[in-house]
Homo-oligomer: A and B are copies of this chain.
Amino acid sequence: MATGRTHRPATRSRGIPEATVARLPLYLRALTALSERSVPTVSSEELAAAAGVNSAKLRKDFSYLGSYGTRGVGYDVEYLVYQISRELGLTQDWPVVIVGIGNLGAALANYGGFASRGFRVAALIDADPNMAGTPVAGMPVQHTDDLEKIIEDNGVSIGVISTPAGAAQQVCDRLVAAGITSILNFAPTVLSVPDGVDVRKVDLSIELQILAFHEQRKAGEEAGAEVVVADAVAETAGVDVPVDEGAAEATAAEATAAEAAPAARTESTDRKGPDGDVPAVMPA
């Protein structure tokens, strides 16, 4: 998925499991859809299907909130919508600032999903003086100089960072100093924040890399013979097998193509060679 949180130490969270919290918005969305279709009640089975999860998991998730269902019937849609909204804190207004109005920042400013859930874009902030005053999503961009004042005046506690990576930590520090305690970070950097500040990150590049890993694995399985060969080579060649078999495979790769690893990365990304690990043929 898309996120990660800065590690929260000792918070006596006699509360809802993090994994459950992360699913509540999913349930809420499914419930909202049902609500709009005026469906009065829904069973855990149906709702789970709509949310794309296991029904047992859903019931357990709801059990952390309380007993809001009726046995033999299901859950009252409207009531559940309200309860989840309340639990998530969506019954109140959350002013949000977006810092860094480039392509992504502008897209976020135009994103309809914010307002529909109680998130109000209070201000758009950018460091470029030329952008100041320029309307984006019907709202004038303001300059970074006024960041602190904007946050204070609007009582903002959630900030979105969509600046380039180089500016992110600096912006983050100013946001935190100004009183922000929750940050959604789109910049490809690890932000360091003091305790008590939550950071969630969305990293497009990382998501793609994870997909690439699985994609490669899938491709490798189809032409799976290669891997076997690599293992065989390792054994026949009497390669000094380190600690375990997993390492052996890696070692086999080294023994052939990866020997020139440091050299290979000097330039080209071409490595069609006798890799033994990387599939030589791409999925069509």
Contacts and interface: CB of A to CB of B under 8 A. Distances in A.
Contact of A113 (B35, B85, B280): B280
Size bracket of the A interface: 35 or more
A187 B204 CA distance: 14
Most chain B C-beta atoms within 10 Å of own C-beta, residue among A30, A52, A107, A273: A107
A278 to B, nearest CB: 6
A211 B184 contact: yes
Interface string A236-255: 00000011111101110100
**Tally of this chain's copies:** 2
Interface stretch (A89-97, A122-130, A140-148): A89-97
Interface string A176-200: 0001011110001010100010101
18 contacts: A2-B203, A15-B246, A25-B209, A36-B269, A65-B247, A67-B242, A83-B261, A85-B268, A89-B217, A92-B278, A96-B208, A103-B111, A111-B205, A111-B280, A118-B212, A118-B269, A183-B211, A200-B207
Given A15-B249, A83-B261, A179-B284, 4 more contacts: A2-B207, A103-B106, A116-B277, A118-B212
